[in-house]
Amino acid sequence: MDWSVRYQEAQLSFENKEFKLEKLNDEIEVGFELLGSTAIEDRLQDKVDETIEKLKEAGIKIWVLTGDKIETAINIGYSCKVLSDEIYQHLINSDESMKILDQLMEAEKSLMRHRNSEHAIIVGGESLYKITARPELNKKFIDLAEQMNVVLAC
């Protein structure tokens, strides 16, 4: 029987309704990826650093998109604990496709050498523009970014 039909039946049930609904929810809520976003104004809200630290401890990867310059974004990354001195930081900041490819490949090599450490990729706006314009760079960047603990796009 189709899941949605069984769910409708459970909703109309008088006996063990909550149990039946919970069981059906458990059945369908499998393999989900949590994806969330938030916007932060020019000043950090209270306890942002503590919250981000807890999210990272829980194994949640943090991606940040900011309109700031790289230097400012890195400073904010430290203040809200997205970045730390223990995280390998890979900077992608060039307006030339070949240099971007070299930087991506170097980050990939470092990731392989330091597999048990945390890694962050920090990408500048011009680089991000070039990456999204070239399918081969885009694929390499996404594949690499998915392996990072932190992605900081400026």
Q: Which helix (H) or strand (E) holds 88?
A: strand 88-92
6: exposed, middle or buried (Cβ count in 10 Å: 0-12, 13-18, 19+): middle
Taking phi over 0 as left and psi of -120 to 50 as alpha, with beta for the rest, 31 belongs to: left
Rounded distance between C-alpha atoms, residue 118 and residue 124, angstroms: 20
Rounded distance between C-alpha atoms, residue 4 and residue 80, angstroms: 43
Q: Is 127 helix (H, G, I), strand (E, B) or coil?
A: helix
Q: What pLDDT, on the 0 to 100 scale, is given for residue 13? A: 87
Altogether, the residues listed in the chain come to a count of: 154
Asked whether the beta carbons of 122 and 149 are under 8 A apart, the reply is no
pLDDT, tens digit only, all 154 positions of the chain: 788 889 888 888 888 888 888 888 888 877 777 666 666 566 677 888 888 888 888 888 888 888 889 998 898 889 888 899 999 999 999 999 999 999 999 999 999 999 999 999 999 999 999 999 999 999 999 999 999 999 999 8
Question: For the whole model, what pTM was predicted?
Answer: 0.71
Q: Which residue has the tokens 């990408």?
A: 123
Both tokens assigned to 91: 């900077």
Q: Which residue has the tokens 């603990």?
A: 149
Q: What pLDDT, on the 0 to 100 scale, is given for residue 33? A: 72
- The string of DSSP letters for 33-84 reads ---------SSPPTTHHHHHHHHHHTT--EEEE-SS-HHHHHHHHHHTTS--
